[in-house]
Protein backbone atom coordinates (compact mmCIF):
# COMPACT_ATOMS: atom_id res chain seq x y z
CA UNK A 1 0.00 0.00 0.00
CA UNK A 2 1.31 3.43 -0.85
CA UNK A 3 1.60 6.17 1.73
CA UNK A 4 1.20 9.92 1.67
CA UNK A 5 4.25 11.64 0.23
CA UNK A 6 5.49 15.23 0.10
CA UNK A 7 5.55 17.69 -2.78
CA UNK A 8 8.06 20.35 -3.67
CA UNK A 9 8.02 22.55 -6.76
CA UNK A 10 10.41 25.23 -7.93
CA UNK A 11 9.63 27.57 -10.80
CA UNK A 12 11.74 30.39 -12.27
CA UNK A 13 9.40 33.27 -13.10
CA UNK A 14 9.66 37.01 -13.55
CA UNK A 15 7.19 39.02 -11.49
CA UNK A 16 4.95 39.31 -14.55
CA UNK A 17 5.18 35.57 -15.26
CA UNK A 18 4.42 34.81 -11.60
CA UNK A 19 1.32 37.03 -11.68
CA UNK A 20 0.18 35.50 -14.97
CA UNK A 21 0.61 31.95 -13.64
CA UNK A 22 -1.16 32.62 -10.34
CA UNK A 23 -4.06 34.34 -12.13
CA UNK A 24 -4.35 31.69 -14.84
CA UNK A 25 -7.11 29.12 -14.98
CA UNK A 26 -5.71 25.85 -13.56
CA UNK A 27 -4.59 23.51 -16.31
CA UNK A 28 -6.79 20.49 -16.78
CA UNK A 29 -5.27 17.02 -16.62
CA UNK A 30 -6.25 16.47 -20.27
CA UNK A 31 -3.84 19.29 -21.17
CA UNK A 32 -0.96 16.80 -20.90
CA UNK A 33 -0.49 13.66 -22.97
CA UNK A 34 1.94 11.68 -20.82
CA UNK A 35 -0.23 10.68 -17.86
CA UNK A 36 -0.51 7.08 -18.98
CA UNK A 37 3.24 6.53 -18.83
CA UNK A 38 3.30 7.92 -15.27
CA UNK A 39 0.24 5.90 -14.35
CA UNK A 40 1.82 2.70 -15.73
CA UNK A 41 4.73 3.05 -13.30
CA UNK A 42 2.38 2.64 -10.36
CA UNK A 43 1.14 -0.86 -9.65
CA UNK A 44 -2.53 -0.43 -8.88
CA UNK A 45 -4.50 -3.65 -8.64
CA UNK A 46 -7.33 -3.84 -11.15
CA UNK A 47 -6.60 -0.54 -12.90
CA UNK A 48 -4.79 -0.33 -16.19
CA UNK A 49 -5.74 3.00 -17.71
CA UNK A 50 -5.88 6.61 -16.59
CA UNK A 51 -9.68 6.78 -16.82
CA UNK A 52 -11.53 9.80 -18.21
CA UNK A 53 -12.95 10.71 -14.80
CA UNK A 54 -9.38 10.99 -13.51
CA UNK A 55 -8.76 13.65 -16.13
CA UNK A 56 -11.84 15.68 -15.16
CA UNK A 57 -11.78 19.44 -14.72
CA UNK A 58 -10.74 21.12 -11.50
CA UNK A 59 -13.06 23.39 -9.56
CA UNK A 60 -11.07 26.60 -9.08
CA UNK A 61 -11.12 29.81 -11.09
CA UNK A 62 -7.37 30.51 -10.72
CA UNK A 63 -4.17 28.76 -9.67
CA UNK A 64 -4.01 31.16 -6.70
CA UNK A 65 -7.49 30.01 -5.58
CA UNK A 66 -6.46 26.38 -5.90
CA UNK A 67 -3.32 26.90 -3.81
CA UNK A 68 -5.41 28.78 -1.24
CA UNK A 69 -7.71 25.75 -0.99
CA UNK A 70 -4.71 23.46 -0.50
CA UNK A 71 -3.44 25.74 2.29
CA UNK A 72 -6.83 25.70 4.01
CA UNK A 73 -6.65 21.91 4.26
CA UNK A 74 -4.43 21.59 7.34
CA UNK A 75 -3.76 17.92 6.63
CA UNK A 76 -1.59 18.83 3.64
CA UNK A 77 0.84 20.93 5.67
CA UNK A 78 1.00 23.56 2.93
CA UNK A 79 2.81 26.73 4.02
CA UNK A 80 2.39 30.09 2.30
CA UNK A 81 3.65 30.14 -1.27
CA UNK A 82 7.09 31.73 -1.37
CA UNK A 83 7.91 33.95 -4.33
CA UNK A 84 11.40 35.47 -4.25
CA UNK A 85 11.25 38.44 -6.60
CA UNK A 86 15.02 39.06 -6.46
CA UNK A 87 15.89 35.49 -7.50
CA UNK A 88 12.70 35.17 -9.58
CA UNK A 89 11.83 31.88 -7.91
CA UNK A 90 8.50 30.45 -6.79
CA UNK A 91 8.50 27.62 -4.24
CA UNK A 92 5.42 25.52 -3.50
CA UNK A 93 5.46 22.73 -0.92
CA UNK A 94 3.08 20.27 0.72
CA UNK A 95 4.25 18.00 3.51
CA UNK A 96 1.46 15.54 2.79
CA UNK A 97 0.01 14.63 -0.59
CA UNK A 98 -2.59 11.88 -0.77
CA UNK A 99 -1.50 8.45 -1.94
CA UNK A 100 -4.50 8.45 -4.28
CA UNK A 101 -3.25 8.66 -7.89
CA UNK A 102 -6.27 10.66 -9.03
CA UNK A 103 -5.64 13.27 -6.36
CA UNK A 104 -1.95 13.41 -7.21
CA UNK A 105 -2.80 13.81 -10.88
CA UNK A 106 -5.11 16.70 -10.05
CA UNK A 107 -2.42 18.40 -7.93
CA UNK A 108 0.25 17.98 -10.57
CA UNK A 109 -1.85 19.33 -13.47
CA UNK A 110 -2.05 22.98 -12.45
CA UNK A 111 1.58 22.97 -11.32
CA UNK A 112 2.77 21.46 -14.58
CA UNK A 113 1.18 24.40 -16.38
CA UNK A 114 3.86 26.64 -14.87
CA UNK A 115 6.04 25.35 -17.69
CA UNK A 116 4.19 27.68 -20.05
CA UNK A 117 5.10 30.67 -17.85
CA UNK A 118 8.58 29.90 -16.55
CA UNK A 119 11.92 30.97 -17.98
CA UNK A 120 12.67 28.70 -20.98
CA UNK A 121 16.23 27.82 -19.92
CA UNK A 122 15.31 27.19 -16.27
CA UNK A 123 15.98 23.84 -14.65
CA UNK A 124 12.65 23.77 -12.81
CA UNK A 125 10.90 20.74 -11.42
CA UNK A 126 8.11 19.23 -9.35
CA UNK A 127 8.76 16.23 -7.12
CA UNK A 128 6.43 14.05 -5.10
CA UNK A 129 8.48 11.74 -2.93
CA UNK A 130 8.55 10.12 0.48
CA UNK A 131 10.16 12.86 2.55
CA UNK A 132 8.51 12.18 5.92
CA UNK A 133 9.40 8.47 6.12
CA UNK A 134 12.60 8.95 4.10
CA UNK A 135 12.39 5.63 2.28
CA UNK A 136 13.69 7.15 -0.96
CA UNK A 137 10.68 6.35 -3.12
CA UNK A 138 9.68 8.89 -5.78
CA UNK A 139 6.04 9.00 -6.87
CA UNK A 140 6.44 11.71 -9.52
CA UNK A 141 9.22 13.81 -10.98
CA UNK A 142 8.31 16.45 -13.53
CA UNK A 143 10.86 18.59 -15.31
CA UNK A 144 9.89 21.97 -16.76
CA UNK A 145 11.94 23.28 -19.64
CA UNK A 146 11.33 25.31 -22.81
CA UNK A 147 7.66 25.93 -22.05
CA UNK A 148 6.85 22.27 -21.48
CA UNK A 149 6.62 19.80 -18.63
CA UNK A 150 7.54 16.14 -18.95
CA UNK A 151 7.85 13.31 -16.50
CA UNK A 152 11.47 12.55 -15.70
CA UNK A 153 12.74 9.05 -15.14
CA UNK A 154 14.77 9.62 -11.98
CA UNK A 155 14.82 12.48 -9.47
CA UNK A 156 18.12 14.30 -9.98
CA UNK A 157 20.26 14.22 -6.80
CA UNK A 158 20.56 18.04 -6.75
CA UNK A 159 16.78 18.36 -7.06
CA UNK A 160 16.22 15.85 -4.25
CA UNK A 161 18.65 17.72 -2.00
CA UNK A 162 16.97 21.06 -2.75
CA UNK A 163 13.51 19.60 -2.11
CA UNK A 164 14.54 17.91 1.14
CA UNK A 165 16.17 21.10 2.44
CA UNK A 166 13.10 23.17 1.62
CA UNK A 167 10.71 20.62 3.14
CA UNK A 168 12.79 20.57 6.34
CA UNK A 169 12.34 24.35 6.50
CA UNK A 170 8.59 23.90 5.94
CA UNK A 171 8.44 21.38 8.80
CA UNK A 172 10.23 23.80 11.13
CA UNK A 173 7.96 26.66 10.05
CA UNK A 174 4.77 24.66 10.64
CA UNK A 175 6.02 23.43 14.03
CA UNK A 176 6.76 27.01 15.10
CA UNK A 177 3.24 28.06 14.07
CA UNK A 178 1.62 25.27 16.10
CA UNK A 179 3.39 26.22 19.35
For residue 12, count other CB atoms closer than 10 A to its CB. 20
CA end-to-end distance (rounded Å), the chain: 33
pLDDT (0 to 100) of residue 57: 52
Strand order across the 148-151 sheet: 82-84, 89-97, 5-12, 124-129, 138-145, 148-151
Read off the pLDDT of each residue in 28-44 and give the average, rounded to a whole number.
75
Rounded Cα gap, residues 26 and 67, in angstroms: 10
Which residues neighbour 169 within 8 Å (Cβ) at sequence distance 6 or greater? Answer: none
Q: Give the closest residue to 2 by CA, choosing from 123, 101, 106.
A: 101
pLDDT the model gives residue 54: 43
119: containing domain:
5-178
CB atoms within 10 A of CB 60: 16
DSSP secondary structure string, 57-73? PPS-SSHHHHHHHHHH-
Q: What are the residues whose beta carbons fall under 8 Å from the beta carbon of 38, sequence distance 6 or more? A: 140, 151
Mean pLDDT over residues 55-72, rounded? Answer: 78
**pTM across the whole model:** 0.87
Going by pLDDT thresholds of 50, 70 and 90, the confidence category of residue 58 is low
Number of domains making up the chain: 1
DSSP 107-127: HHHHHHGGGGTS-TT--EEEE
Task: Please tell me whether residue 26 adopts helix, strand or coil conformation.
Answer: coil
pLDDT score of 43: 55
CA distance 151 to 47: 20
The answer to whether residue 48 scores a pLDDT higher than 60 is no
177: buried, middle or exposed (CB in 10 Å: 19+, 13-18, 0-12)? exposed
Amino acid sequence: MSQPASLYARFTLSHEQYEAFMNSTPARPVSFDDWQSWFDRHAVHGIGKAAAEMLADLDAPTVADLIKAWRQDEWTGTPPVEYDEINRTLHIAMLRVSENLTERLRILSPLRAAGAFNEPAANDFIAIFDFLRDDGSVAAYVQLHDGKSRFGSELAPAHREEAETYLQEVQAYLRSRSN
